[in-house]
Structure 1
Amino acid sequence: MRLVLTVLGVILLVIAAVYFLVPADQLPGFLPGYEAGATRVHVKHGVASGVLGVVLIAAGIWMGRK
């Protein structure tokens, strides 16, 4: 379970970085938020993914200590 939480947390941190660095019209099709012709980034999506990623990594570390 610890490994699963940690891997999911890392994946969400990578997704958060994609949301912060890639404009909305260049997002991959499997990520929500694609907008044709939009040059803005999705800050809320990035923050949500980043926070959830950190929480999952912390939960993985916490579960590993038991």
Structure 2
Amino acid sequence: MNERLERAEEEIAHLRRAVDDLSDVIAAQAREIEVLTRRVRLLMERAAEAEAEASGAIPLADQKPPHW
């Protein structure tokens, strides 16, 4: 019985380590997603500004569809 308890404790320790590692990965990915989201937003704003300057019209992304 003691051996089974030790194996269970070892497995729990390994699982806790895996959960901690996965949590670290998820946190890093969340930070990266935030950075990438900001960059995409800035690029979209720059593209809209460049489009507005080039054509002098309302950017296509800001126009309402014809059925509205």
TM range (shorter): 0.3 to 0.5
TM-score normalised according to structure 1 size: 0.38
TM-score normalised according to structure 2 size: 0.37
Point out the structure with max Rg over C-alpha.
2
Between 1 and 2, higher relative CO (CA 8 Å, sep ≥ 6) is seen in 1
Higher helix share: 2
